[in-house]
C-alpha cells in the first residue's frame, strides 16, 4: 500500500473531541501496559464513527462506558469505533501493550540507555495508545506511572506531582496532573535513574518555580550551564515579551538517544544530551551558545507552541518560525547581534536556499504532506523565522509587541493558524499585510536584481529594483512579494552616509518592494553613492547588484552596518572563487587577485572587533560556495577553496602570527570577550596550519589547550591541512575520550570530513569503532551525516562510491530509524544540481531505495519526489 498525502485545504474540524485523558502505565523496558481512559464528546451532530489513530502496539482491550465493546474496525493505523447508538458524551477505556526496548524509531515510548522516555511530536502518541492524535484536540492529562523502584527511581510526566506510593513487589508509582489543556504531541513521560540539579526562579509576579535538570549519573558537573541558560531565558521572556511561566515546576531531562535537538513537552522538556551537557573540557564555545539557544527555544515554546498551539501540522511554522525568531532575538540581546545575524544568514543561504532548489521545496506553510516528520525543515524553521523578522521590521518593535499581545489574548488555550497570527499583527499595527501573506503560501527564493543611476547635475540617485521568484519543484507560478529592502547610501569618496531624502522629506531606510519593477528615487545626493543593500539581511532573498571590487571595499571600509561589511567580504570571496573555478575549468593557472588581497590586508591591519573579524576572515564552506551555482562542480570547488586557503595563509602569515599571539586568553571562561578572542585566534590557526610553521604551532596549541574549543581547533587544523601530527593527535583524542559519545561526535565528524583520498574507507572502518553505535542518531549524524553533507568532494566522488555508501546506510536505517534516514538522504535528492554522470549514479542509488518492499513513508516521500 502506497502512503497517501494529506492536503492543507482538506482540513476539517474534528467530529469528536477528547476533554480528559487518564493514563495508567505499568512500565517496563520489555513489556509495558497502558490503560487509557478517555472522555469523549461528540462535536458534530449525527457523527456515527469515531476513528482513533494508533499503530505499532498490541491492542488488548476496549471498553465503552465501562462495558467491553467490539463494534469496531481496526486497520494498520487506526481503530474505528461505531458510536452511532451512543450518547454525545461517553467514556472509552483502551488497553495496549508495547515494547520500549525494541523501539529503535525513537518515537512514541522508547528506551534510551537505561532510561525510558517518550517523543510524541508530531505523531508519536499514537504509538502508545489509540488517540485522536491531532493538535486541535486539547485535553487534560492525568498520568499514573508504576515501575521498578531500583531501576527507575524517578518517574516523571507533565504538570504537577499529585500522589506517589510504594508497592510491596519492589515497584513504586507516581501520579501527575497537568492543569493545562494540551494536544497529545506535548505529552511526555520519563523513567530512570538520574543525577538531579535543582534551582528555582521567581517570576515577575512573585511565584516561585522549581527548576530541575535530570542528567545521566556522573554528569552533574555538566548541567549548570543549562540551568543558568534556563534562568536567563525565563527572565528575558518576561522583559522583552512580558511572558511569564505558568506552572510551579519546570523539568528538563537529557537523554542520549534522540532524533532531533529537543522537545518542548509541557513542564517536562526532553533534550538530546548534546544540548544540555557542557563543561570546558568537553564542550566548545559553539556548544555553549547552542545549548543556551536550544534551552531558550524550548522554554519559549511554553507560550508560542504550548499555550497557543497549532490547529493542524500545516501550521507548524506558527510555533516554530515564531519561536526561532524569539530564540534568535534572545541570543542577539545577550551576545552579539551582528554575529548572531551573520551565523543565521549563513545557514539560510547554504541550507534553506538549497532546499528551495530541491525536490522538497515547500512554502513555510506546506500544502501537501505525506510524512509530517519530513517538514521539520530549515524552510519551516529558519525561513519561517525570517518571515516573522520581516514583520518585525515592517511594524517596528512596539507595534510588533502589541500584535503579540493581541495574538495571545485572542488565542490563548487554543489551536491557532498562521492566519490568526498575521491577522493579529495586521489589526494591532494598522498595516495592510494582504500582499505580505504570500510569504506563507509561496515557496522559493526570490531574486532581487538592482541597478542604479546617478544624475550628478541634478543630484538625483535612483535604484531600479526587479523582483523575480524562479519556479520551484512544488509550484510553477510565482506572485510578487512584499519585500522589505533595507538600504543606506554611502559616499563613494567621502565614505559619509548620505541621508535618504525624497523631495524635501526624509524617507525610511526600509524600502517596500511590492511590484515586479520599481524605481526608488533619492534627492540631494551630492556625491556618487555606493548602495548598501539588504542591510541586516532584511529579507530572505538573493540579491544581485553588480558591485565592483572598489565598491565592495568601500562598503567594507565605511558601512556602519556590520552585516553589510561582512557581506561585502563574502561577495569578494565568492567572486574570487568563481573566477578561479572558471580558470580551473579552462585549464588555466589559478590566481589570487590583488584587489582581494587589498581588502584582506585592510581587515587584518585594523582589527577592532575580534568576533566580527573572525567571521569576516572565515572562508565560506564548500556547501556555501556551492549555492552560488546552478550546476555544482564539487571537486572544482574543493580545489579552488583549498587554493584560496593556502594563498591567504601564505600572503598574510605575519598578520596571522601576530593576531594569534595578541589574542591569547587566560584560563578558560565563557564570556563574550574570550569567545571572540578564541574565535579569531583559531581562525588564524586554521590558516597558519597551511604554512611552514603549521606543524609546530598546531601541535603546541593542541597540547597547551585547557578547553575543548582550543583542542578541537588544533585537531581540526591538523586534519584539514593534513599535517604530519594529525594521526598522533587524533589517536590521543580518541584514547582520552572514547567513552564519551558526545565528545567522540566531534572526532567522528572530523574523520568524516578529512580531505584524504581514502576518506570513505576510513569512514567505513569507523562504523566498527568502539565508540560508534548505529542506533544512536548523534553518532550516525556525525559520522555518516557529516560525510554525506559536509564532505562534498568525497561524497560526490565520480566513481559513485559515496552514493553507494550512503544508500547502504539508508537501507539499514530505513528499518531501524526512518526519521533519521530521511534527514540523511538530503544530499542525495539534490541530484539535479550535478552533471549527468553523477545524476545517473545518484538515481541508481535512489532506485535501489525505491525498490525496497518496506520503504518507510519518510523516505518514500522524498524518493518519489526526486524520481518523478
CB of 301 to Zn ion, least distance (A): 6
Q: Which is nearer to ligand TRP, 299 or 687 (CB)?
A: 299
Candidates 36, 129, 229, 259; binder of ligand TRP (CB under 6 A) is: 259
Taking the least distance from each CB to Zn ion, the nearer of 323 and 791 is: 323
What's the length of the chain? 868
Q: What angle do CA 645, 651, 655 make, to 5 degrees?
A: 100
How far apart CA 485 and CA 463 sit, in angstroms, is 11
Among 574, 543, 388, residue whose Cα is nearest residue 468: 543
Return the one option of ligand TRP, Zn ion, none that residue 121 interacts with (CB less than 5 to 8 A, by type). Answer: ligand TRP
Give how far the C-alpha of residue 438 lies from the chain's centroid of Cα atoms, to the nearest Å.
23
Residue with cell string 522508547: 110
Q: Report the residue number, 119 or 686, with the smaller CB distance to ligand TRP.
A: 119
- The interface region with ligand TRP, picked from 253-261, 273-281, 535-543, 559-567 by CB under 6 A, is 253-261
By a kind-dependent CB cut-off of 5 to 8 A, residue 260 interacts, out of ligand TRP, Zn ion, none, with: ligand TRP
674 in contact with ligand TRP (CB under 6 A): no
Binding region for ligand TRP (CB under 6 A) out of 262-270, 416-424, 500-508, 670-678 = 262-270
Taking alpha carbons only, the member of 306, 92, 87, 25 closest to residue 185 is 306
In whole angstroms, what is the distance from residue 197 CA to residue 215 CA? 8
* Cis amide bond preceding 122, omega within 30: yes
- Asked if 260 is part of the footprint of ligand TRP (rule: CB under 6 A), the reply reads yes
Partner interacting with residue 491 (select from ligand TRP, Zn ion, none; CB below 5-8 Å by kind): none
Query: For residues 319 and 830, which CB has a smaller minimum distance to ligand TRP in the complex?
Result: 319
Pick from ligand TRP, Zn ion, none: which does 376 bind, CB < 5 to 8 A by kind? ligand TRP
Q: Which CB atom, from 320 or from 371, has the smaller least distance to Zn ion?
A: 320
Contact (CB, 8 A) for 91 and 39: yes
> How near is the Cβ of 298 to ligand TRP at its closest, in Å?
6
Nearer to Zn ion, 260 or 501 (CB): 260
If binding is defined by CB under 6 A, does position 175 make contact with ligand TRP? no
**Other C-beta atoms within 10 Å of 630: how many?**
9
CB 365 within 8 A of CB 315: yes
Q: Does 291 bind ligand TRP (CB under 6 A)?
A: no
Per CB under 6 A, 730 contacts ligand TRP: no
Q: Reduced to 3 DSSP states, what percent helix, strand and coil does the chain have, rounded to the nearest 5? A: 45, 25, 35
Active site residues: 298
* Distance, CA of 622 to CA of 619 (rounded, Å): 9
Q: Report how far residue 285's alpha carbon sits from residue 621's, in angstroms, rounded to the nearest whole number.
A: 19
Task: For the CB of residue 323, give the shortest distance to Zn ion in the complex, in Å.
Answer: 5
Q: Which three three-digit cell numbers place residue 738?
A: 572514547
Segment interacting with ligand TRP (CB under 6 A) among 116-124, 573-581, 677-685, 749-757 = 116-124
Residue 355 interacts, among Zn ion, ligand TRP, none and using kind-specific CB cut-offs from 5 to 8 Å, with: none
Between residues 122 and 760, which has the closer beta carbon with respect to ligand TRP? 122
Give the shortest CB-307-to-Zn ion separation in angstroms: 14
- Of the pair 92, 310, the CB lying nearest ligand TRP is at 310
Binding segment toward ligand TRP, per CB under 6 A, in 64-72, 117-125, 496-504, 613-621: 117-125
What's the CA gap between 672 and 667, in Å, rounded? 14
Residue 860 C-beta: closest distance to ligand TRP, Å: 19
Q: How far is the CB of 808 from ligand TRP (least distance, A)?
A: 25
Residue 262 as a binder of ligand TRP (CB under 6 A): the answer is yes
| 706 close to 324: Cβ distance less than 8 angstroms | no
Please give the residue whose beta carbon sits closest to ligand TRP in the complex.
260
Q: How far is the CB of 328 from ligand TRP (least distance, A)?
A: 13
SS3 annotation, 402-463: HHHHHHHHHHCCCEECHHHHHHHHHHHHCCCCCCCCHHHHCCCCCEEEEEEEEECCCCEEEE
Which of 752, 840, 867, 854 lies closest to 810 in space, CA to CA?
854
Q: How far is the CB of 316 from ligand TRP (least distance, A)?
A: 9
In the DSSP assignment, the letter for residue 472 is B
By CB under 6 A, residue 320 contacts ligand TRP: yes
Size of the site for ligand TRP (CB under 6 A): 13
Over the window 353 to 392, marking each residue x when it contacts ligand TRP by CB under 6 A and - when it does not, the resulting string is: -----------------------x----------------
The three three-digit cell numbers of residue 183, written as one number: 494536544
The residues, ordered by sequence, that sit 6+ positions from 67 with a Cβ below 8 Å of its Cβ are none
262 binds, among ligand TRP, Zn ion, none (CB under 5 to 8 A by kind): ligand TRP
Asked if residue 119 binds ligand TRP (CB under 6 A), the reply is: yes
DSSP string, 572-627: HHHHHHHHHHHHHHTTPPP---HHHHHHHHHHHH--S-HHHHHHHHSPPPHHHHHT
| 273 near ligand TRP, judged by CB under 6 A | no
Identify which of residues 320 and 382 has a Cβ nearer to ligand TRP in the complex. 320
Per CB under 6 A, the segment of 257-265, 331-339, 511-519, 563-571 that binds ligand TRP is: 257-265
Rg of the chain taking only CA atoms, in angstroms? 28
Asked if residue 263 binds ligand TRP (CB under 6 A), the reply is yes
Which x/- pattern, by CB under 5 A, does the window 323-362 give for Zn ion?
x---------------------------------------
Q: Is 264 in the site for ligand TRP (CB under 6 A)?
A: yes
Residue 121 binds ligand TRP, judged by CB under 6 A:
yes
Torsion angle of C-alpha atoms 595, 598, 602, 605, degrees rounded to 10: 160
Give the interface segment with ligand TRP, choosing from 7-15, 63-71, 119-127, 616-624 (CB under 6 A): 119-127
Minimum distance of Zn ion from residue 417's CB (angstroms): 17
800 binds, among Zn ion, ligand TRP, none (CB under 5 to 8 A by kind): none
Task: Provide DSSP, 315-332.
Answer: GHHHHHHHHHHHHHHHHH
Residue corresponding to grid cell 469505533:
81
d(CA 449, CA 259): 40
Task: Report whether 536 contacts 561 (CB < 8 A).
Answer: yes
Number of residues that bind Zn ion (CB under 5 A): 2
From the list Zn ion, ligand TRP, none, which binds 263 (C-beta under 5 to 8 Å, kind-based)?
ligand TRP
Q: How far is the CB of 301 from ligand TRP (least distance, A)?
A: 6
> Is 234 or 763 the residue whose CB approaches ligand TRP more closely?
234
Q: Which does 858 bind (CB under 5 to 8 A by kind): Zn ion, ligand TRP, none?
A: none
To Zn ion, the closest distance from the beta carbon of 452 in angstroms equals: 41
The residue assigned the cell 574570550 is 674
Looking at beta carbons only, is 562 or 826 nearer to ligand TRP?
Answer: 826
Could you say which DSSP state residue 380 is in? I
Q: Which uninterrupted H or E stretch holds 386? A: helix 384-411
Query: Long-range contacts of range 543-547, CB-CB < 8 Å, 24 or more positions apart?
Result: 543/447, 543/448, 543/450, 544/447, 544/448, 544/449, 544/450, 545/449, 545/450, 545/451, 545/452, 546/451, 547/571
- Rule CB under 6 A: which of 571-590 touch ligand TRP? none
Residues in region 304-323 near Zn ion by CB under 5 A: 320, 323
Show Cβ contacts of residue 636 under 8 Å, excluding neighbours closer than 6 positions.
581, 584, 585
Task: Say whether residue 298 binds ligand TRP (CB under 6 A).
Answer: yes
User: Which residues, in sequence order, are bridge partners of residue 460?
Assistant: 455
Which positions touch ligand TRP (CB under 6 A)? 119, 121-122, 259-264, 297-298, 320, 376
Which positions touch Zn ion (CB under 5 A)? 320, 323
Amino acid at each position: 500500500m502506497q502512503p497517501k498525502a494529506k492536503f492543507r485545504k482538506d482540513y476539517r474540524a474534528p467530529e469528536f473531541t477528547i476533554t480528559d485523558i487518564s493514563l495508567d502505565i505499568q512500565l517496563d523496558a520489555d513489556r509495558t501496559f497502558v490503560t487509557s481512559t478517555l472522555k469523549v464528546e461528540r462535536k458534530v451532530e449525527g457523527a456515527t464513527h469515531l476513528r482513533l489513530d494508533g499503530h505499532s502496539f498490541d491492542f488488548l482491550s476496549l471498553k465503552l462506558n465501562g462495558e467491553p465493546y467490539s463494534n469496531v474496525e481496526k486497520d494498520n493505523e487506526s481503530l474505528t469505533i461505531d458510536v452511532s447508538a451512543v450518547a454525545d458524551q461517553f467514556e472509552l477505556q483502551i488497553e495496549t501493550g508495547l515494547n520500549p526496548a525494541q523501539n529503535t524509531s525513537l518515537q512514541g515510548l522508547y528506551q534510551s540507555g537505561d532510561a525510558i522516555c517518550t517523543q510524541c511530536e508530531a505523531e508519536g502518541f499514537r504509538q502508545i495508545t489509540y488517540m485522536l492524535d491531532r493538535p486541535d484536540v486539547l485535553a487534560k492529562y492525568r498520568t499514573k506511572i508504576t515501575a521498578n523502584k531500583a531501576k527507575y527511581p524517578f518517574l516523571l510526566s507533565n504538570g504537577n506531582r499529585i500522589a506517589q506510593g510504594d508497592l510491596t513487589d519492589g515497584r513504586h508509582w507516581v501520579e501527575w496532573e497537568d492543569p493545562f489543556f494540551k494536544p497529545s504531541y506535548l505529552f511526555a513521560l520519563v523513567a530512570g535513574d538520574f543525577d538531579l540539579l535543582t534551582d528555582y526562579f521567581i517570576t515577575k509576579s512573585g511565584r516561585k518555580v522549581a527548576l530541575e535538570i535530570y542528567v545521566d549519573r556522573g554528569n552533574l558537573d555538566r548541567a549548570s550551564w543549562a540551568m543558568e541558560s534556563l534562568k536567563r531565558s525565563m527572565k528575558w521572556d518576561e522583559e522583552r515579551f512580558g511572558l511569564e511561566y505558568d506552572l510551579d515546576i519546570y523539568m528538563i531531562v537529557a537523554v542520549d538517544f534522540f532524533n532531533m535537538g529537543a522537545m518542548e513537552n509541557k513542564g517536562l522538556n526532553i533534550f538530546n544530551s548534546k544540548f544540555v551537557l557542557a563543561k570546558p573540557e568537553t564542550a566548545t564555545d559553539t556548544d555553549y551558545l547552542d545549548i543556551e539557544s536550544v534551552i531558550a527555544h524550548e522554554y519559549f515554546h511554553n507560550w508560542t507552541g504550548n499555550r497557543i498551539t497549532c490547529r493542524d501540522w500545516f501550521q507548524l511554522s506558527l510555533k516554530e518560525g515564531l519561536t526561532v525568531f524569539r530564540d534568535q532575538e534572545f541570543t542577539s540581546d545577550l551576545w552579539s547581534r551582528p554575529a548572531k545575524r551573520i551565523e543565521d544568514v549563513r545557514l539560510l543561504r547554504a541550507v534553506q536556499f538549497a532546499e528551495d532548489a530541491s525536490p522538497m521545496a515547500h512554502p513555510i506553510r506546506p500544502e501537501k504532506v505525506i510524512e509530517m516528520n519530513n517538514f521539520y525543515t530549515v524552510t519551516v524553521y529558519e525561513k519561517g523565522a525570517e518571515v516573522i523578522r520581516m514583520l518585525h521590521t515592517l511594524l517596528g518593535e512596539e507595534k510588533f509587541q502589541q500584535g503579540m499581545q493581541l495574538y495571545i489574548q485572542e488565542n490563548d488555550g487554543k489551536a491557532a493558524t498562521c492566519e490568526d497570527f498575521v491577522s493579529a499583527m495586521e489589526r494591532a499595527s494598522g498595516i495592510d499585510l494582504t500582499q505580505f501573506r504570500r510569504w506563507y503560501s509561496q515557496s522559493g527564493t526570490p531574486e532581487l536584481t538592482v541597478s542604479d543611476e546617478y544624475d550628478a547635475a541634478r543630484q538625483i540617485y535612483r535604484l531600479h529594483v526587479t523582483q523575480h521568484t524562479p519556479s520551484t519543484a512544488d509550484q510553477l507560478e510565482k506572485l510578487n512579494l512584499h519585500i522589505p529592502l533595507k538600504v543606506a547610501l554611502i559616499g563613494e569618496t567621502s565614505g559619509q552616509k548620505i541621508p535618504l531624502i525624497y523631495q524635501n522629506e526624509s524617507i525610511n531606510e526600509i524600502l517596500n518592494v511590492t511590484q515586479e519593477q520599481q524605481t526608488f528615487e533619492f534627492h540631494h545626493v551630492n556625491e556618487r553613492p555606493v548602495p548598501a543593500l539588504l542591510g541586516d539581511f532584511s529579507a530572505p532573498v538573493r540579491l544581485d547588484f553588480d558591485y565592483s571590487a572598489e565598491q565592495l571595499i568601500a562598503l567594507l571600509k565605511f558601512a556602519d552596518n556590520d552585516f553589510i561589511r561582512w557581506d561585502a567580504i563574502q561577495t569578494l570571496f565568492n567572486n574570487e572563487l568563481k573566477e578561479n573555478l572558471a580558470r580551473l575549468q579552462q585549464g588555466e593557472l589559478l590566481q589570487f587577485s590583488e584587489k582581494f588581497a587589498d581588502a584582506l590586508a585592510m581587515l587584518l591591519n585594523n582589527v577592532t572587533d575580534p568576533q566580527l573579524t573572525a567571521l569576516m576572515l572565515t572562508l565560506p564552506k564548500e556547501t556555501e560556495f556551492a549555492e552560488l551555482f546552478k550546476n555544482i562542480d564539487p571537486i572544482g570547488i574543493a580545489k579552488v577553496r583549498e587554493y584560496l586557503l593556502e594563498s591567504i595563509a601564505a600572503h598574510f602569515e605575519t598578520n596571522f602570527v601576530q593576531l594569534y599571539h595578541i589574542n591569547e586568553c587566560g584560563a578558560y571562561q565563557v564570556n563574550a570577550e574570550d569567545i571572540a578572542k578564541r574565535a579569531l585566534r583559531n581562525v588564524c590557526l586554521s590558516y597558519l596550519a597551511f604554512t611552514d610553521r603549521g606543524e609546530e604551532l598546531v601541535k603546541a596549541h593542541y597540547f597547551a589547550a585547557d578547553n575543548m574549543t582550543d583542542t578541537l581547533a588544533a585537531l581540526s587544523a591538523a586534519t584539514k591541512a593534513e599535517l604530519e601530527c594529525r594521526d598522533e593527535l587524533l589517536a590521543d583524542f580518541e584514547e582520552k575520550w572514547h567513552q564519551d559519545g558526545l565528545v567522540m561526535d566531534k572526532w567522528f565528524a572530523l574523520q568524516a570530513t578529512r580531505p584524504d583520498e581514502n576518506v570513505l574507507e576510513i569512514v567505513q572502518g569507523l562504523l566498527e569503532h568502539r565508540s560508534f553505535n548505529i542506533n544512536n542518531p548523534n553518532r550516525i549524524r556525525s559520522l555518516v551525516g557529516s560525510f554525506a553533507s559536509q564532505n562534498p568532494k568525497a561524497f560526490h566522488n565520480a566513481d559513485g562510491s559515496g552514493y553507494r555508501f550512503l544508500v547502504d546506510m539508508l537501507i539499514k536505517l530505513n528499518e531501524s530509524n526512518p526519521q533519521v534516514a530521511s534527514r540523511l538522504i538530503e544530499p542525495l535528492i539534490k541530484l539535479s544540481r550535478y552533471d549527468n554522470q553523477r545524476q545517473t549514479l545518484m538515481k541508481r542509488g535512489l532506485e535501489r531505495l525505491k525498490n525496497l518492499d518496506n520503504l518507510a513513508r519518510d523516505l518514500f516521500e522524498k524518493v518519489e519526489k526526486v524520481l518523478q
